[in-house]
Each structure stands twice: as C-alpha cells, then as structure tokens.
Amino acid sequence: MKRTLEAAARLASTAVCLLFLTPAAPAQEALRWGADPSGGAPYVYADPSHPDTYIGYEVEIADALAKAMGRRAVFVPTDWETIVQALQRGAFDVVLDGLEPTEDRARQILFSKPYYVFNLQLTVRKGETRIGSLEDCRHRVVGTLSNTAASRLMEKQGIPFRGYADPVGAYRDLELGRIDAVLMDVPMEMFYARSNPRLKPAGEPFYKGVYVLGLRKGDEKLKAEVDAAVDKIVNDGSLETILRKWSLWNDAQLELRAASNPNGGAAAGESSGVKFEMTSATFNWRGAILRLTQAAGVTVLIAFGSMFIALGLGLLLALGQWKGAAGLRFLCTAYVEFFRGTPVLVQLLFLYFGLPVVGISMPNWLTALVGLGLNYAAYESQVYRAALEAVPRGQWEAAYSLGMTPALAFRRIIFPQAFRVALPPMTNDFVSLFKDTSVAFAISVWELATAYREMANASGEFLLLGAIVSAFYLAMSLPLAHLARRLEARMNRRRAVLAVESEVAA
C-alpha cells in the first residue's frame, strides 16, 4: 500500500516535471538521517543567520554519503536521548549524530563503518588549579551529555557526573560554578568551550573512540550501501575536505583511510581494522535500584522542601490578600495569578537559566525545590484563604470580647480552625506536588523521572524500569492520598454534627 502510494507520488512529480518541460531528473530515493540539532553544533544545528536551515559537518557528510549512494539526504530532527528508539520506530533510516558503537547499542541496532575518530577533552574554569585530569575529579561533579562515551567512562570509573541534554547547559553550569568540570567529545569542546575566555582545557585529549552511523537491525542491504559510501568519501578525500573546513581534521583520521580497505571481520573494539576503545553501559539491576532509591530520596527532599515553602509563603500571601492594605493586596493577588497562570515548567526554566543573568545562581535541586515552593505557595494561599473565610465571624468577636488582640485571636483561635479545614485539600496538593517534582528533569535534577529517562534510554529497559519507578511514586503518594481521604472524612463527620446541632438549636 505504502509502496503504491510512493510510486503514485513519484509518478505525479514526474508528471509535474514534464508539464513544466524540465528534463525529468531520475527519481532519487531519500536517505532519511536522524540527529539532534538542539545544542548540536558543530554536528548539526540551526544556522544562526538562517534559523530555518541546518548546518554542521554532519549535514555535509550526510550530503556526501547520499551523493555517493545516488540518493537525496533528508534530515529528520530528533532527540538525542531517544535516538535509538526513534530509529527502531522507523522515524528515519540512519542515525548520523556522533553515535559511538557500544555493546548495549549493538544489541539493538547495526553500525556502519566509522567515519570519524574522536577523543575526549576535560574542561575547567580559567582559575581552576586543583583539576589537571579526570582522576582529580573523584570527589567533584563533572558535567557531560547523557548516554555518551564520556558519561559511561565516568560511570565505570566511579566519578560523579551530571548528565545534560545539550553541551550548552553543561558549559554554562561550569561557568556558574554549579559543576567543577565538563568532559566532552573534542568536536563539541572545540566549538563550545575552546574560545570561551572563562574556561580552559585541563590536560590533553584522551581516549579514542569512533563515530558510526546507526541502522535498524535487518537493514543489511542499506548497511552495505552505507559502508561502501563511507569507504568512498574516506578515500576520495571529500570527507577530509569537510573535516578540514570544520577544523576537525587531525592525523588520527588517517587510520580510517588505511582501514577502509575491506578486509577484516569487525571484532569488538575494532571496526575494519581501526583500533578504538568502546564503552558500554554496564547495566546491573542492583546498581539500578540503588540509583533509583537515591533519586527517590531527591524526590522526597524536593517535595518536602517545597511544601514547607509553600505552606509558609502561602499563609503570608493569604493574609496579605485577606487583610492587607490595598497595595499589598494587589501584589499578593498579582503573585497568585502569575504563578497559577504560567506553567511551572517555564517558571523552573526561568529560575534556572534566567536568574543567573542577574547574578543569582542556585544548584539545580535547590532551584527545583524553590521553584515548586513558589508555585505551590500560590495554590496553598487560596486553600488558606478559603479556610480562613470559612471560620465564622463570631469566633473573632468571641476572642475580642475576651480581650484578645487581633494577632492573638488569629494565632490561637482562627488559624487552628482554618488549618483543620485546609488540611485535607493541602494533603491532596502534597500528593500532586510529589508527582510534579518530575518537572525537575527539565533542569537535570537527578530525581525519579530523570533517573527513569536516563537509565531507560541507556539500557532499553523501558517497561521494567517504568514499573519500578511507578512503584516508587505510588509508595510515596498512596499513603498520603489515604491520609487525605481520612482527614476529609473526619472533617465531613464534624460538619455533619455541627449542622445537626445548629438545626436543633434553631
């Protein structure tokens, strides 16, 4: 069916060409290649001067490969973290995005011959004196991209690292002092860090890995085509031209030329004769559960911390809105409307990326804690307000008649009653807050949602890990939800008693 459609489309385009009396070009098959263009320089990224077109050395390599194959290169933007899954779903035909061959990926997809030999480079702040190599980072935090040779290397060596979705964020956090070093493939390091006056390389480039194209299992025919095309552009110098243009050429690339003579079965760590190191995500369930438990701890910390802020600030907002002078009342209302009317995700991103511009920078977990706290304060203030208004005016008058000041009456008489009314909805909000901590993944906080995404992407264990993570969430939220229901039931019983009594009294 699909084929007939395609044929029909081709026929139609040919017809159009004929109509315009242009010589009908031989209909070219597409080579759809997937890559992540966000923070993707110098691989593939939106041209700063023409944001609607993509540039990068891999764009040019894709074009060269497609040309060698007699095809037409079509770029499909995608997300790095899920690039293997997108390939498997058929979103595109090949991955061409600085993909390194790894053992766990080898179980899921096919690799082409290598087209680039890369090294890793450690980067630190200009004034840094303590860090000269990766070994010096044992007790520091190193930023890198998730699920790359660099992240797997550090995981294996037990060096604490934080995974980012793009290099820009990692180098920015390094500048801000949120992390101590960044380890990245040399192409990215050259493009994002080498010219930054506040950063400097620490030590020499090390490690030797290769980039290959990724293909779906079973696509052997396309793999043969691609391998032949790689050989062609390696040997005819067109690859060298591209790499030189992007200042990525070095002598290490010559190995590819020597290796491209088709004469060897590829063993692990050796593809067509090029010797390279290969990392693998060593996935073991014990380690996974341990890291998930850690992540759950972070989730709990963020949830409790932000609820604490929300309850305190929410009360102040409610009081300001309720009894404040006109100006204060306006400010409080503006606060509430702002935080309820904009997405919490945007608020978090603003706190994390926007505040450093004016000199305020917090670590990411604290940003999440404060951000969610500020956001939930807006909601809790309304819970408080409704609860305060639900306390009858007679309670104030009775307190005043006993000689209490307004502050004392509020503290001892009004607030305790309002708090009881507010407790069930607050507990419910707390349950939502637990789930909302997952937005912290947007700023790479290692909480449950981030942990799930990163570990599942690295291992492919989406189902089982998903079940475990859900179990973690439920273990935290179910008892709370149960508590909320019990409180609510008790409130309703009390209200029913009061209603009966007032009927009797009337």
- Bridge partners for 135 per DSSP: none
Tell me which of 400, 435, 481, 487 binds other proteins, using CB under 8 A.
Answer: 400
**Which residues 6+ apart lie within 8 Å of 71 measured at CB?**
28, 29, 30, 31
Tell whether residue 404 is a contact of other proteins (CB under 8 A): yes
Confirm if 156 and 227 have CB atoms less than 8 A apart. Answer: no
Euclidean distance between CA atoms 368 and 372, whole angstroms: 6
Tokens at residue 8, please? 């029909």
Tell whether residue 407 is a contact of other proteins (CB under 8 A): no
CB of 346 or CB of 398, closer to other proteins: 398
For residue 235, which of 213, 253, 221 has the smallest C-alpha distance? 253
Binding range to other proteins, per CB under 8 A, among 144-152, 198-206, 280-288, 387-395: 387-395
Name the residue with tokens 């989406």.
462
CB of 345 vs other proteins, minimal distance in Å: 39
Tell me which of 226, 413, 433, 456 binds other proteins, using CB under 8 A.
Answer: 413
**Which residues 6+ apart lie within 8 Å of 396 measured at CB?**
409, 413, 414
Q: What is the dihedral of CA 315, 320, 322, 325, to 10 degrees?
A: 170
For 405, counting Cβ atoms within 10 Å of its Cβ (0-12 exposed, 13-18 middle, 19+ buried), the class is exposed
CB of 311 vs other proteins, minimal distance in Å: 19
Binding range to other proteins, per CB under 8 A, among 151-159, 168-176, 233-241, 392-400: 392-400
Between CA 363 and CA 365, with CA 364 as vertex, the angle to 5 degrees is 100
CB of 423 vs other proteins, minimal distance in Å: 12
Euclidean distance between CA atoms 442 and 444, whole angstroms: 6
CB of 377 vs other proteins, minimal distance in Å: 25
Tell me which of 395, 462, 481, 488 binds other proteins, using CB under 8 A.
Answer: 395
Number of chain positions touching other proteins (CB under 8 A):
23
For residue 188, which of 215, 214, 211 has the smallest C-alpha distance? 211
Tell me which of 19, 127, 394, 503 binds other proteins, using CB under 8 A.
Answer: 394
Binding range to other proteins, per CB under 8 A, among 21-29, 271-279, 411-419, 451-459: 411-419
Q: Distance between terminal CA atoms of the chain?
A: 78
For 352, counting Cβ atoms within 10 Å of its Cβ (0-12 exposed, 13-18 middle, 19+ buried), the class is buried
CB of 156 or CB of 412, closer to other proteins: 412
Decide the pairing of beta strands 45-47 and 50-55. antiparallel
CB of 354 or CB of 392, closer to other proteins: 392
Tell me which of 9, 176, 290, 497 binds other proteins, using CB under 8 A.
Answer: 497
CB of 251 or CB of 503, closer to other proteins: 503
Tell me which of 293, 297, 397, 490 binds other proteins, using CB under 8 A.
Answer: 397
Binding range to other proteins, per CB under 8 A, among 77-85, 200-208, 343-351, 495-503: 495-503
Site for other proteins in 418-447 (CB under 8 A): 420
Residues that bind other proteins (CB under 8 A): 392, 394-395, 397-398, 400-405, 408, 412-413, 416-417, 420, 494, 497-498, 501, 504-505
